[in-house]
A and B are shown apart, each in its own frame.
Chain A
Amino acid sequence: MDKLLTNMNNVFVRFPEIGDVVVKDIETKTPQYIKLSSFVKTELDESVYEIIGAVAWREHDKVLVVYKENTSTQFMNRPWLYLSGYTLDGTDRTGTLSIRVADDNWNANVEKVIPYNATSAEGLVEQLNGFFEDDADCNAQDWYANIEEDGSVRIHCDSTKAGKIFETTAKAGFACTSCAPEIDSDYVIRRKNGNNGGYGSIFSMQRAIEAFTPDLSPETYNPSTDVKPMNVVLPVTLPAYLGESKYQSDHCKALRERYGEGRDGWLKFLESLRPVAPCDYGTMRKRNGKERTDIMAQKMFTSRIVSEPKAMCNAAYYCSNVNSKTIDKGEFWLPTADELSYIFKTIEYGTNPDWNSDPINRCLNKIGNTVSNKAYWWSCCRCSVIGAWIVSGNWGFLGDDSLRSTSRVLPVSLYTVR
């Protein structure tokens, strides 16, 4: 087929394959697909078609598309909480906000006793902001309060200036929610070996092979006690698997009995740590990336030093705001862990320095930004109060990272073949 296609450029196909180019008809906004091997950008009439991205996966008529561009940003740059417990009766009262501060090297909470006398939420918010401005610690972290549409009092701060924002609590006249309570979290990924553990399920096999081939000393990846196949949560290094590590004696006999001897057995063992997808148990159940992204992308704020509304969840906002002549806002989203598991089955660029080493990057290299398995990639799935799931560019598995961290953001969308 490829030989035939060398005779003609930009062949449109109805059912695309991984790496094929996604374009949209500018007049109708309908997605169409060009066979990657036939794609010649200079010969595409860009007054008729807009280049959108690359096909990352297809299941029958559903096409998972990665956008042609990606960026680096924080998952959550402005964490928020909702304040309650206050009394609006026009008498002198206090409430306590307990926060971490830089002077103490973020080690322990410092209590901020906030006086107020208010008969309305508006009055309370005004006094809160007065306190935040006058208090050196709160001012430095740009703490700010506002009233939401439903009347709730929201307080928030700059995560780049608040080292331990997620430790914030309220007491003695105030109460508060956890950070960003609208975004749920869980810490469960079912693996093919039957384990329902937390971080460590392999998403990028090529990266994991490179990372765990050397003899590493940490017991995390080099067990000091005998392990059974279903109990394994994290990858085990190749020397440890073979019972040849210089750091530990042999504790992997049961693994070799199940998956086989030698490097081939180790590779099969690593495969057993891949996530079960699709799966309804735990994080992989969260397959509506658009809904999760939209919730986060709609969170906006202003503060004393930020007068124009800005996003609070930069990663989601970036994805949700992808738009062009043919792309409407909200059409792309921050990928779910489930979607990342399909995308990173294919990605080999990174561990392999050649852009052409996998079809997705072969395509993206012609139209936009490539995707490296040596970078960290956010999912839209939160894994804890302080973190979200991320494909680790260091280990190749699904790891957790602080919501404050900056990592790569790859917008995705799902089209249906018509």
Chain B
Amino acid sequence: MTTANQQSESPIVGLLVEFDGPEALKAAAAGLKTAGYTRCEAYSPYPVHGLDAILGRKRSLIPWMVLGGGFTGCVVALLLQWWTNAVDYPYLISGKPLFSLPANIPVTFELIILFGALAAFGGVLLLTNLPRPYHPLFGCEKFRRVTTDAFFLTVDAADPKFDEAATADLLRWLGAKSVEPYRNPASRRDVPGVLKAAVTLLIALSVLPVFLIAVHRYERKSKPRIHPLQDMAFQPKYLPQQSSPLFADGRDMRPPVPGAVAADALIDQDHFLHGTINGRPATTFPVPVTAEMMHRGRERFAIFCATCHGLAGDGDGVTAQLAFEREEPKWVRPLSLHNASVVSQPVGQIFATVSNGIRTMPSYSSQIPVEDRWAIILYVRALQRTRTATMKDVPKEYRKLLERIERSDAGTRAKRP
């Protein structure tokens, strides 16, 4: 193990003393204590109970560390769940409270156990100064048997009562099988330089990826960031301007369906689409008025409007009549289109009424296309004119004819009983 030359160089660390078994070990430890030694340690292949009391050791701190770990785990878990799920990113699930204990118990329980276990394991390492790659006793050939079947005591040379010869005698008297000094080797066989260099290099390299990621994350760049997982970038789907065997024309892009409107076609169309000019109801029609449009309007009016408003617009359509016959309590008579409040409205306002609905009348914008709504309004205007027109409105060539009809009508009425 050591040569005489080395022995003279390095001082004794302590005495290594072997005993026959646990009982002899305990007796010797008690003897040493009685003799006033304080810096001694026992080594055994399995825990020998009773030694701690003899050596005057206090109760371990580990239970308190585990308690602290468990408590920390509990607080961490509750704060984590409360802050993440109730504050930073509130999850509303079935109207339950954002934070309530029952749902958070399992994770809290697991973290109590996890932190407690880490504290127990970390506590052993911390309190026993492990990992400790080198110990002076590792130099003693004999000491290797401590993990198999040997029982040892050591007495530290730093002990105030230590005297190599006297202490050795005392130990022999206490029943030691063998006593030998142990010392730090003069030259510690160091870890090979290659290994040291390799480990240093590995540690340095392991920092590199973390550093690169951190730099990459906070750097400003004009190009897109590196995206290692391209799973969303390449998908089995059709992209614009590709071919497809599914359609007769061989294109993957399809022409718009009939009636599709380009998005920009709706800009500057307030008059036509909403019946307003500069935000006020329009007084004119956005489309040219034709006889054809009037016929279309009469047809559409009969389909969509007359059921309530009546064919002449008096508010006496079949639905209205039926409702009155049944004395429906909630039925409100539809407004007569000849009412002064309607007659005086600009066409844009009537368009808004048809498009959006008013009072109990629903919106018809989903059923009647815009052009047809304007046609209906044209027809409504014509109906209103039938009640408000004067002889001045009649073209001159028809006035005489009209007056003749008027007279004959009056004569016919007079003849009636």
Instruction: State yes or no: do A and B come from one complex.
Output: no
